[in-house]
Amino acid sequence: MPAMNTGSPYLTNGWLILALLLFTGCGEKKVATTPGTINSTPLAPMEGKDAPLFEKLDPASTGLTRAPKIDPKHPERRLYATGYSVGGIAVGDVNNDNKPDIFISSGPGQNRLYLQDEPLTFRDITEASGIEERIAWSSGATMADVNNDGLLDIYVCNYDEENALFINKGITDGIPAYLDEAKVRKARVRDASHTPAFCDYDNDGDLDLFILMHQLVAADGTAHTIPDAYAVGKRGNAFVIPRYTLYFKIDQQLRDPETDQRMATLKAIGRPDMLLENDGEGNFVNVTKKAGIESEGIGYAVQWRDYNLDGRPDLYIANGSNDRDHLYHNNGDGTFTDVIDTVVPLLSVDHAAWHPRTLIMMAVLTP
C-alpha cells in the first residue's frame, strides 16, 4: 500500500478529509476528461437514509492512546501561537502486511509509531522499531520509499533542530527496524522546517523532497513587543540589528513629523523553502537555487500536483498572512517558474492564509 503524504501538520482535526484529497497528489492516476465539460463520479449509496458516515472510536479500543498534549510549562511554549501549534500524522504500510499504519509527530512530545494488527486496532511499536526519542519540537511528517527498496521510510520535520529521516532497514516478525540516516543521506536540515513533501518532480524514478519552511520565533517577543529589535543608521534609515535578522525585517520606515525622529515597524519573516533532489540511491542534493525556487514566507501548506496535466508535477505553496502564495510550474528541465500571478492572480497578493487552501486550490486547478 502506498504511503499517504499528509502535507500540512494540521491534521489532528478533520485529517480524514485532508487525507482523501491528498491521495490525488503526486503520482496520481489521471481521469480522462472532455474539454469544456465537467465529469463526476457519484459516491456509493448509503446503506440507510440516516446512516452516519463516520463513527468516533474509543482510544481504548483502537490502541491510539498517546495523543499529543499541550504543555503550558514547556520552555518553547511560544510555538503554540504559531504554525507549530500541533504535530503531524503520516499513514502508510510500514511492514508490508497490506494494512495502513500510523506515525504521529507530537509537537514537543514523543513521536509514536502505531502498527495496525487488526482493522482499526493498533499497537505502539515506537521503541521496538527503533524510532528514537529526541528532544525536539516535531511538526509535519511523511512516509515515502526514498531508496526504492520497497519499504516505507519516515521523514520528520523539527523546529530549529535537525530533521530526521528514518530508513526502514527491514522487517522481522512483522516489526520494521528504523535507523535515522538523515545525516549520511544529506537530508539533516536544521531550520524552521514545517512540512515535508516527496514527489518525483524530474520523472527519473526516485522521490525528491521539498521542505516547507515556517518561521523562527524569537524567545523574547514578537515584532510588536521588542522595541530594540531595530536601530536607526547615520543616514536615518532603520535596520534590524543582527541578533534579530532571522526573525524580522523592516516593514515600514517612519518619521515623526513633529520631532523628525526616525522610526520603523517590523514584520515577522519566514525562512527560505528547500528542494532536495534524490540521486537515485536515497541520498539528497540541495538544488533549491538551481531549480529556481525562491520562495520565502511563513509557510503553512504545500502540495505537488500536475495542475495543467502536462505529465510534470507542479508545486503549490500556501503562506500565511502578508506573504504571497506560490505556484511553481515545472518546466521539465529541472527548473520551475512561479506562475501564480497569471494562473491564480487573486492569491498572488498578501492575504490571510489557512492551511487547507492548498488542497482546495490544487483541486480547483486540476482539470
**How far apart are the C-alpha atoms of 10 and 153, rounded to whole Å?**
21
- Is the pLDDT score of 34 beyond 70? no
**Which comes out higher in pLDDT, residue 77 or 135?**
77
Q: What is residue 363's predicted lDDT score, i.e. its pLDDT?
A: 55
pLDDT band at 53 (very low <50, low <70, confident <90, very high): confident
Burial class (CB in 10 A: 0-12, 13-18, 19+), 250: middle
Q: Which three cell numbers stand for residue 142?
A: 511523511
Q: Would the pLDDT of 16 be above 50?
A: no
Q: Are 59 and 67 in contact (CB under 8 A)?
A: yes
pLDDT for 316: 95
Q: Band the pLDDT of 23: cuts 50, 70, 90.
A: very low
Cβ proximity of 271 and 296 under 8 Å: yes
> Shortest CA distance to 56 belongs to which of 13, 88, 103?
13
Alpha-carbon distances, residue 332 vs 206, 244, 276, 329, 336 (angstroms): 15, 39, 16, 9, 8
Q: Give the count of beta carbons closer than 10 Å to the beta carbon of residue 227.
A: 8
pLDDT band at residue 60, thresholds of 50, 70 and 90? very high
The arithmetic mean of pLDDT across residues 186-210, rounded, is 97
Distance CA 87, CA 159 (A): 11
Burial class (CB in 10 A: 0-12, 13-18, 19+), 286: middle
Lowest model confidence (mean pLDDT) among 32-41, 88-97, 135-144, 199-208: 32-41
Query: What is the chain's mean pLDDT, rounded?
Result: 85
Of 14-23, 73-82, 99-108, 169-178, the one with minimum mean pLDDT is 14-23
pTM, entire model: 0.84
CB-based contact 21:11 (threshold 8 Å): no
End-to-end alpha carbon distance in the chain: 26
Stretch 3-16: mean pLDDT, rounded?
A: 36
Q: Is the pLDDT of residue 24 over 50?
A: no
Burial profile 160-170: b = 16 or more Cβ within 10 angstroms, e = fewer: bbbbbbbbbbe
Alpha-helical segments (H) within the chain: 15-22, 59-62, 126-129, 288-291, 340-343, 357-365
pLDDT reading at 122 higher than 60: yes
